[in-house]
Amino acid sequence: CLLLLCSCNLNTKDARTISIGFSQSISEEDNWRKSMDNTMKVEASLHPEIDLTIYNANGSTKKQIEDIEKMIEKRVDVLIVAPYGSDSIVPVIEKANKKGIPVIIVDRKVNTSNYTAFLGADNIEVGHIAGKYIVSMSKAHANILEIKATTAISPSVERSLGFKQIIDQYPNIKKTTITALNLESINNEFIKVLDNEPNIDYVFAFNDIIALQAWEVAKRKGREKNIKFIGIDGLNDPNGGIQAVKEGILTATILYPTGGSEAIKLAIKLANKEIVTKNNVLNTILIDSLNADIMSNQFDRIAIQQSNIETQQN
């Protein structure tokens, strides 16, 4: 009787497939992007009705626009986009929106409001967290070097703005800012600063990759022990920010969640015609030597659950 019941349920199962197209902007050589893709794949694997296709633009806006055009052509049920820049992509996002395809923007912002939902951490808050940490650690007396990324991307602008809003309140904190366009430019620019400034107390970098690169440069100059390095992302992998905090290379990292699994959950709601909030903010937290172990244990538990899921699927 039980068997009969089971087969009956199988026969009546809704066979509808939800096609989700995801446009990733940066290659998986960037571990934060890889983590975003992986968490999306794992979340999608929990829902057999989902057909997830990931396109990677490898840092090219032109390719990202072409990828999105392809997904519009295919008429995916939901489009998720992790934009590279904020401007050039606007017409294709608006095109998808006009055609009635729900569009979820993750991480970086786009200069239009013609999309369905945004998902990401609050980068101004990230900048505030970094600023307040330095103020409290230094008792409001410090010489800081900020390493920003290009102003074409919203996290760089917002992290820097949030940081400035805090730091500017303290007259005994001095801040110099340089822009890192690639790893080579960090080397060149940071060496110049090190040569001109004998006392730098803190480096606040756009992300952990840049903070670690700056640490390498300082190490070559024998200055790494006198500077506290703070990054952003807080990945829990052997090359990530949490490990670097544990090893005492970074003083702190600020967790910047990728939102991979949340994006898939949001996409399912949209495919099922549920109403969703337009602005979906992910939580963030500062990780230093006090909580690095706790944070990585928490991530490890999630990773174990995820690997169990992957094994079951294989």
Binding site for ligand AHR (CB under 6 A): 26, 30, 32-33, 107-108, 155, 207, 232-233, 256
**Closest CB to ligand AHR among residues 184, 310:** 184
Q: Report the distance separating Cα 237 and Cα 58, nearest Å.
A: 22
Q: Are 106 and 174 in contact (CB under 8 A)?
A: no
| Rounded least distance, CB 229 to ligand AHR, Å | 15
**Closest CB to ligand AHR among residues 33, 228:** 33
**Closest CB to ligand AHR among residues 155, 162:** 155
| Rounded least distance, CB 85 to ligand AHR, Å | 11
Would you say how long the chain is, in residues? Answer: 314
Nearest Cα to 52, choosing from 11, 104, 96? 104
* Strand-by-strand arrangement of the 228-233 sheet: 173-179, 142-148, 202-205, 228-233, 252-255, 286-288
- Which residues, 6 or more positions from 274, have their beta carbon under 8 angstroms from its beta carbon? none
Instruction: Provide the token pair at 157.
Output: 């602008």
**Secondary structure class of 224 (helix, strand, coil):** helix
For residue 145, the cross-strand partners are: 176, 203
**Closest CB to ligand AHR among residues 101, 211:** 211
**Closest CB to ligand AHR among residues 116, 156:** 156
For residue 93, the cross-strand partners are: none
Q: Is 190 exposed, middle or buried (0-12, 13-18, 19+ CB in 10 A)?
A: buried
Q: Report the distance separating Cα 203 and Cα 259, nearest Å.
A: 27
Per-residue CA distances from 268 to 19, 95, 276 (Å): 10, 21, 11
| Rounded least distance, CB 4 to ligand AHR, Å | 53
What radius of gyration do the chain's Cα atoms show?
Answer: 22
| Rounded least distance, CB 18 to ligand AHR, Å | 27
**Closest CB to ligand AHR among residues 194, 203:** 203
| Rounded least distance, CB 30 to ligand AHR, Å | 5
Strands 117-121 and 103-106: parallel
Q: Are 81 and 106 in contact (CB under 8 A)?
A: yes
| Rounded least distance, CB 122 to ligand AHR, Å | 13
**Closest CB to ligand AHR among residues 50, 295:** 295
**Closest CB to ligand AHR among residues 85, 143:** 85
| Rounded least distance, CB 282 to ligand AHR, Å | 12
| Rounded least distance, CB 206 to ligand AHR, Å | 7
Position closest to ligand AHR via CB: 207
Instruction: Count CB atoms within 10 A of the CB of residue 101.
Output: 20
